[in-house]
Amino acid sequence: MNRYAAAWTTEVSLARAMEQVAIEIQSQLEGRHPDLLLVFCSHHYADAWQNLSAGLVSKTGTKVLLGCSGESIVATGREIENGPALSVWAASWDGVGMIPFQATFERTPDGIVTTGLPQGVNGLLQGNARCAIVLADPYSSLTDLITDHLAEDLPNLPVIGGMASGGGPGENRLFYAHKGIEPQVFEEGAIGVILSGNLTFTPVVSQGCKPVGTTYVVTKADRNFIVELGGEPPLARLEQLYAYLSATDQRLIENGLHLGLAMTEYRDQFRRGDFLIANVIGADRNTGVLAIGGKARVGQTVQFHLRDHVTASEDLVEMLQSARSSHPAPQAALLFTCNGRGTRLFSAPHHDAQKLEEFFGPVPVAGFFAQGELGQVGTKNFLHGFTASIGLFG
């Protein structure tokens, strides 16, 4: 019995596209209604978006629906970067609980206030939470508030998802429905669902970088400024590293440098996946201080990282190999990849989707190219860039 299904189409008419994917989903699920339906669609359907949530709920009978618009759309084994595309992923479970939510954000004199996040779920779920899926509009939401809230109530819970993409402020859409409310289409905020119970879930986060040189300990820092690494200015450390690198890696530094922030100090050796990658956004040649797109704390281990299409591919392969060797084979997957990847980064299309299929076979897959990807590094969830965030479901 199939627990998961996925279908996609490039049909120009959204009405016909919904009809096609609904028929395919019901066929794969052998006539059962989905418990959860995830939907990702391109901006080519913008004129008919208002009908999407209600249309798919009516056609599939799903209990919960989440979705968003995307610049490019992911399906099983493929990434559709041009033209209309609708990709749908469905799950029909026994013993899996779902807590859907819709969050709004408001600026007040005391700061940003968010409403609609689930409250007190730890006691309700009794330690059986498995993961959360979150989709958000990049211009009207702060996903840090969501992940911090979930971390308080459900420590170590992995979160996957991404920011809707392909449009400016007010041009993206979130699709949402669950029993008890009318199907909705939102221009702002965030939506999500917490999954619990009889489910195995493995997060895979590929940040697309490789470490170079040695690790250092931050000995002086101020907010997002690194003042000293191991007692020396970080720019001096970088110059020492540069002199020993190959010409290829020297060019990568010149095109863009990154700093990996170790998520735990309890490692004899640090490898890929142990670091949160932050961009180096500036340097002061007079003081040797580096500015990064994040915050480092005194005592934290860091290491310089490089990124290009080769390292991005190598990193994804290494992360997928690790997941395959240490976890049960998945029955389905979700893929949220950066809108700076695809053919903007790799020489051939479908790179991330095909790597996923190479490792786990043609399991049902859906997703989209996001304007920021949610994924777990260590035990904490972050909003990433240039990352492939994958959820493997059993």
Q: Please give the average per-residue pLDDT across 321-327, as a whole number.
A: 92
In the prediction, which pLDDT does 328 show? 85
Say if residues 290 and 282 touch (Cβ distance below 8 Å). Answer: yes
Q: Where are the beta strands (DSSP E) in 43-168?
A: 64-70, 73-75, 78-80, 86-91, 96-108, 111-115, 129-136, 159-163
**Tokens found for residue 254:** 């010149």
Q: Please give the average per-residue pLDDT across 73-101, as a whole number.
A: 96
Report the distance separating Cα 15 and Cα 23, nearest Å: 13
**Across the chain, what does the average pLDDT equal?**
94
pLDDT in tens, 116-136: 999 888 777 767 999 999 999
pLDDT in tens, 194-229: 999 999 999 999 999 989 999 999 999 999 999 999
Report the distance separating Cα 67 and Cα 62, nearest Å: 13
pLDDT of 1 over the 90 cut? no
State the pTM of this model: 0.93
Q: How far is CA 228 from the centre of its chain?
A: 32
Lowest mean pLDDT among 178-182, 190-194, 318-322: 178-182
